[in-house]
Amino acid sequence: MEVVPAHLEYWMRAYYFSTEIDLSSSGVENFSFGELRQLFNITPDDLDRIVLHDSRTLGDPKLRMAIGNRWASGNAERVMATNGSSEANYLIMHSLLEPGDEVVVLDPSYQQLYSIAKSIGCKLKHWQLRFENSFRPDLSEARHLIGPQTRMIVVNFPHNPTGASLTPAERDELIEITASAGAYLVWDAAFAEITYDGAVLPDLGERYDRSITLGTLSKAYGLPGLRVGWCLAAPDVLERLVRLRDYTTLHLSPLVEYVAARAIENADLLLKPRLAQARHNLQILLSWVNRHSEFVRMVRPQGGVCVFMRLHNVDDVEDFCRQLAREYSVLLIPGTSFGHSNHVRLGFGCSTTELTEALSRLSEHFHTYRNSNTSAVAV
């Protein structure tokens, strides 16, 4: 089994801790622990009572109940709490897939959602989201790709990096196509609670018993450092994941589970201000893009806090982003992390002050970059 390097993670490792402004992340502005303690009224006594014993394999009952109440119609039996949704994704792929299985994946896509399947020896079929079509997922294309030989369909809506999503009717159509193939439908719902137009799509479990929904506190909740995610699936599927978890992380920390449960029980206190900020930042970004149409074009996202911008006249997007990091201390993700060389992923979930400053530095970089390239041609 050979796992190819996760391009985006290598890029983040190289620049995340050495740049001033982060436009690379796909989540909202992060919260400090002090903010959480204040918002949820967590006292020192509350923390002192936590015993750092082994926790339960599927997660502490209070946390599972909080997750179940919010996303699985109160059905905690369907919940497994994980160390980030990355762990859930890893367990799912390794528990349910075998070499030679056919897996339909989105393209572009967050790499974890297809490279693990590839490393297992699965045959990938790519469901393309195209800039020319405003990244709209084309259900007739999915219908063409999915058949009796399909073992799993892996989607992520709202989508990283494009912000594309499905309407409830399209979601139902995808379930119907998947069900007719008898395949698993893995839905990464990391950005489910940041939508601009449509409603939040609920857990698919009530509609389709072979669905597996992934969630996380890393994106809409601004808590990526807590490392809490989950998966919602039928209990027999969770049982298969447990077999593998017994050889990896075993369980979460009781301290982390306590904070996570409080965060989910008080979700609106975290979500509301960040969603308002995301909406405001999106307007700033759209108007900036309008003023820079000679350099970039973008599709307005339907959800999430990142966009996949197309660049004009940039030959080497990694070189462009590297210079931006080194000379302007602003971090962007080159489209090569998603297999598209003429794009960048820009995250706009940061504070408005940071976004405004970063966009002004990006403007300067575009102008300087163009001038230096023009003079290089002239020489």
Ligand X SMILES: Cc1ncc(COP(=O)(O)O)c(C=O)c1O
Residues that bind ligand X (CB under 6 A): 26, 84-86, 110, 156, 160, 188, 190, 216, 218, 224, 229
Question: How near is the Cβ of 221 to ligand X at its closest, in Å?
Answer: 10
H or E element at residue 222: none
Question: How near is the Cβ of 184 to ligand X at its closest, in Å?
Answer: 17
Distance of alpha carbon 379 from alpha carbon 369, whole angstroms: 15
Question: How near is the Cβ of 117 to ligand X at its closest, in Å?
Answer: 14
Tell which residue, 112, 20, 121, has the closest CA to residue 337: 112
N-term to C-term CA, the chain: 49
Q: Letter for the amino acid at 97?
A: L
Question: How near is the Cβ of 51 to ligand X at its closest, in Å?
Answer: 26
Q: Which is nearer to ligand X, 84 or 137 (CB)?
A: 84
Distance of alpha carbon 36 from alpha carbon 262, whole angstroms: 9
3-state secondary structure 41-78: CCCHHHHHCCCCCCCCCCCCHHHHHHHHHHHCCCCHHH
Burial 359-370 (b: 16+ CB within 10 A, else e): bebbeebbeebe
Q: Which is nearer to ligand X, 156 or 178 (CB)?
A: 156
Q: Which is nearer to ligand X, 277 or 337 (CB)?
A: 337
Question: How near is the Cβ of 9 to ligand X at its closest, in Å?
Answer: 9
Q: Which is nearer to ligand X, 190 or 296 (CB)?
A: 190
Q: Which single residue brings its beta carbon nearest to ligand X?
A: 84
Q: Which is nearer to ligand X, 162 or 281 (CB)?
A: 162
Question: How near is the Cβ of 367 to ligand X at its closest, in Å?
Answer: 31
Question: How near is the Cβ of 26 to ligand X at its closest, in Å?
Answer: 5
Q: Which is nearer to ligand X, 68 or 161 (CB)?
A: 161
Cα within 13 Å of Cα(26), Cβ side: 25
Q: What is the DSSP letter of 195?
A: B
Question: How near is the Cβ of 107 to ligand X at its closest, in Å?
Answer: 14
Tokens of 180: 């007719």
Distance of alpha carbon 107 from alpha carbon 355, whole angstroms: 28
Tokens of 142: 């999915």
Q: Letter for the amino acid at 35?
A: E
Q: Which is nearer to ligand X, 157 or 366 (CB)?
A: 157
Q: In sequence order, what are the beta bridge partners of 155?
A: 187
Cα–Cα distances (Å) from 106 to 162, 181, 340, 360, 377, in that order, read 11, 18, 13, 33, 38
Q: Which is nearer to ligand X, 86 or 213 (CB)?
A: 86
Cα angle for residues 171, 85, 114 (degrees, 5° grid):
65
Pairing of strands 333-334, 343-347: antiparallel
Question: How near is the Cβ of 372 to ligand X at its closest, in Å?
Answer: 32
Q: Which is nearer to ligand X, 84 or 349 (CB)?
A: 84
Cα angle for residues 96, 98, 99 (degrees, 5° grid):
155
Q: Which is nearer to ligand X, 16 or 361 (CB)?
A: 16
Q: What is the DSSP letter of 26?
A: S
Question: How near is the Cβ of 228 to ligand X at its closest, in Å?
Answer: 8
